[in-house]
Each structure stands twice: as C-alpha cells, then as structure tokens.
Structure 1
Amino acid sequence: MVRLKNEENNSKNLHKEFTVHTRGGLKINGYHDINFDLGKGEFLSLYGPSGLGKSSVLKALYRTYTTTSGEILFNYDDGTSLNIATALESEILNLRKEHLGYVSQFLQVLPRISAVDIVAQPLIEKGESQTTAQEKAKEMLSFLNIKEELFAISPLTFSGGEQQRVNIAKGIIAPKSVLLLDEPTASLDMTNTNKVIDKLLEIKKQGVTMIGIFHDMDCMKRISDKIYDMKEKRYADNY
C-alpha cells in the first residue's frame, strides 16, 4: 500500500509488471514490494542502480503508469483520501492540478513560448497577475543562472543544461504539497546542482513533501531525510 498525504506518507507492497506485446506477452518485473513512509516536509530519495524501477515508481505515484498491485492513497487535510491506483482520470487531473507535482528530466513545451512565460505559467494558474508572475519567473531563472538575454527566447533553442534548469524552475516555482523529482540535476554542473539543492531545501522548509531520484550520493545526503534502497527494499541505515 502506498499513501501519499500531507501529514504522513507511507508505501507498502507496491508492484508493477510490464507486458511486452511485441514479444508474445513477455512479462517483465518493473519493481516489487516497495514500502516507505514519509512525513510532511520530508524528502525521500529512491536509491539504487539503473534498472530497479526508480523512475517507474515516481510515474506510478503520478499515475503516468498504472500499478499491477498495491494501493496509492493520497490523504487530504479533511481526512478523505484518494486511491491514485484506481481513481478516475478526472480525479487524477484534479489531484495534479491542486496537490501533486512532477519534474521530469526533460523539458516538454510548445515552441515559440518564451522561457519567462513558461516559468510564470504555474503562478498565473494559482491566481498571480501576469506582471507579478513574470517578475518572480525572472528571479527564479536568474537564481538558476539563466542569462537575462535568454528570458524572452524559447528554451527549445537552449543547451540541454539550460533546458533542464528552465524545467526545474517551472516545476518548483509554485510547488504543490507533494513534489516528485526524476533526476532533476542529471545534466547539471556542480554549481547549478548546488543551486537546485538550495532551492529544494528552501521549499522543504515550507512543508512540501518530496520524493526524488539522484545518482549523486552527495546530493542525496544533503537533501534527504530518508533514503530508500530499491535493491534491498529498505531504508539505507548509514549514508
């Protein structure tokens, strides 16, 4: 059972199996027996070598992937809960809009939209004026070392690292109560990695619960309250 909630988050016995239809219905295990708990404002890192299903777990929590077995319960402040694993698509869309955010490794945006407008959009959706949202977006882009002359340009023309920083800025400028982060610093140098970690620590102090994937152990140690070892199916005791 997986529980994602504002006060406490727990995961137990989450399992995913993929079917390869081009290989005669071959079954491939994605992950199994995932079990973790998480409190409000805590950061949990998923740890382990490639191929253990870390990104797949995040996608299950966001319901990009369905689960083979196990529940994903999001408990609201009023005491009600939603099982993400079986919820209607309309319920999932509302959950994402109000409570659940996801930052992937890759920027996916429409062409010809400027970097500042992309980053400002989540603030506008929360009720900020366009002017205020754009000013805050510029501050976030500057903090993440995006040059001012690039603000009005589509980030699809940027380098990979610049695109990733725009993607991170968009994902965290108006954080939801639970934020899922899939290798947010994968393509970044140490300077920009530290900038991202600084901002995530700031968000954590605001009570945002986060589950993330980092291949850099130093990043995990700096940001994490708990590290879940996907291979051993338990928390890492010493890190």
Structure 2
Amino acid sequence: MIRVAVVDDEALVRSGLRMILESAPDVEVVGEGGDGGDALRLAEESVPDVLLLDIRMPGTDGLTAATRIAELPAPPRVVLLTTFDLDEYVHRGLRAGAVGFLLKDTPPRDLLAAVRTVHEGHAMLAPSVTRRMLERFAAPGPAPSQGRPEAERRLSVLTERERAVLVAVAEGRSNAQAGRALGMREATVKAHVSRILAKLGLANRVQAAILAHDAGWV
C-alpha cells in the first residue's frame, strides 16, 4: 500500500485529489493539510511514502516546505502540484529535493501513475515541461554534457523495443501513457524502464531522458 499525504490551500482541490487517490486499491491517503507548515508536520507524523504538495500557498509555500522536508532523516518523496507551467518552479522544486512536478489538470489515471512511479524511486515530470527541463539540466556524469557520439555509444546496448520505451520516457510520458502509445501493458513498460536503467547504470527516468536527448533521439 502506498501511503500518500495531500497538501493544498484549497479544500476543493484536496477533496478532488483524495477522491482520485482513494479510487486506487493500492493507495491510502494518510493525511492532508493546507500550507507548508502542515506539509512538514505530515511528513514527520503521518510518515507518507509520497507527499503531493501545492507550490503556491499562503504562509510557508510548497518550495520552502519541500526544502525543509528534504532535510528530514527519512523524507517522503515529494511531488509538486501547480496550475502554473513555469520553468522557475520546476528548477527550484527539483533543487529543493522534489522528485515530481505535475500540473493540476493532470488526468486522474496519470496522477495515479505518477504516484506509483515516484514511489518506485523514479522521477516524474509533466510532459509539458520535460523538454524544457532537458535543455536546462546537465546530463549525468562528470561532464556537463557527454556529447552525441558518447550518448549513442551508451545507448547502443538497448534493444529496439527498449529504445522505443526510452523515447517515450524522454518525451515525458508516464508508464501508462507509454503503454498506450506503444501498444504495451503498463507493467511491460515498467519492466522495460527498469531494464533500461540497469543497462545504462542510471538512477532514474530523468537521467535516462537526458541521455536520450544528448543522443538526439528527442
């Protein structure tokens, strides 16, 4: 069971998120709050696996709360929610330790997929911001960018099907979205992603997406 807490200053938004989350048999909502102070309290007391956190709130905002939560001994995995698709929020949020960034108009199925993805230890960005993020963040490794030939060399170990899955990931698709696009079951996509990360020696989907970007695949 995935334990999730929800923090948003609008009660109607919290109610909607709770309804979506509780529709899934593998998700349990363990608490909710209305500001950054509540987020920190929930992270410490309710011990959620995943914390859905609004960015713009009165008092302590979500970015400040995410920074403080990241300093806890065993912090939850923070997914930032916003109605504003702004680079500034994405960059500050990732620097603050968040592992996900979703718009509030994300479809229910994709929201649940994102919760499961970050719970599994991967990062998840809204498709609309993934491409811009790739342009701004350095590729994994000691060099800021390893160059196209090196990226292509590393990716040469992938099968044709794994390449298709990686392109879908690099486009910002969730496992469910990639499955629909490629005619695969979601569980099959998940297995492919795990193998891709293992083959490439990468920690998460964002690093894989950056490598695909360096190779010119997206």
TM-score between the two structures when normalised by the length of structure 2 = 0.34
- Which protein, 1 or 2, shows the higher relative CO under an 8 Å CA cutoff with sep ≥ 6? 1
Higher relative helix content: 2
TM-score between the two structures when normalised by the length of structure 1 = 0.32
| Rg comparison, structure with higher value | 1
